[in-house]
Structure 1
């Protein structure tokens, strides 16, 4: 009888983790969309009359840390463009946080096969980000 209680407690804990992960995805998307939407409104208020010249492409040679610092400082100052980028970063980070939460869930369940697979996914994400910003 004690063994069945352990199984029920284990399933209850797993269900709680799935609820947390589901809420993370749901609220992460809503928060990122809200921040980007507010940033769009702020951007249009301040730059709505400007005409963009899309015939000229400006390449960015800065590394990821400089870009994130610029976006952070701009968002703190209420810059619309930076708020839009902050929303995009939140949207990108939502599934990354889901993978990290899954890693902790698999560690608690002692499911080492999925811990290994999740670590490989995290490594792929890190490599993708690293090579995406290097020239």
Structure 2
């Protein structure tokens, strides 16, 4: 009985952590996007010529360092996309703690699909 209670408390902690990850991820990405919008208003443009945008992580990072508004907004969107993926990673841990092998495998497959889809999407454009 003590072991079940301990496991329940640990799972509750994991659920709280997942909630915190989602909340923090959305807040941080929203703040970054708003900062990008403010930079755009202050600078009067997106930091790139019309029809040009940063493509790839390196270009976005260089644009953020140069305080180019459009790159900052794209970083915020990237963080927003990354948030649920991080939740999947934490879910794998949670299912492993529960010793639920089936859901560990299913969630791992979901993570692999997310990663592959991201890589394909990156190289498609």
> TM class, shorter-chain normalised?
0.7 to 0.9
Which residue number corresponds to residue 13 of structure 2? 16
The answer to whether the aligner puts 1:42 opposite 2:31 as a matched pair is: no
Separation in structure 2 between the aligned mates of residue 5 and residue 71 of structure 1, nearest angstrom: 51
Per-residue deviation, residues 11-33 of structure 1 (Å, max 9, x unmatched) = 00000000000011011101100
Cα drift, residue 134 of structure 1: 2.4
Change in 2 beyond 3 A, CA 1:59/1:77: closer
After TM superposition, the structure 1 = structure 2 runs for residues 1-135 of structure 1, keeping only pairs within 5 Å, are: 4-48=1-45, 67-135=56-124
The structure number with the bigger radius of gyration is 1
Q: TM-score, normalised by structure 1?
A: 0.81
Q: Offset at 1:70?
A: 1.1
Residue 129 of structure 1, CA deviation: 1.1
Matched position secondary structure for 1:43: helix
Gaps of at least 5 residues in structure 1 are none
Q: Retained in 1: the 8 A contact 2:61–2:71?
A: yes
Higher relative contact order (CA 8 A, sep 6+): 1
- Distance between the aligned counterparts of 1:86 and 1:44, measured in 2? 17
Aligned length: 122
Cα distance between partner residues in 2 of 1:130 and 1:89: 13
Aligned CA RMSD, in angstroms, stands at 2.2
Q: Secondary structure at the match of 2:123?
A: coil
Q: Displaced runs of 4+ in structure 1, greater than 4 A?
A: 57-60
| TM, length-normalised to structure 2 | 0.87
Q: Which runs of 5+ in 2 are unaligned?
A: none
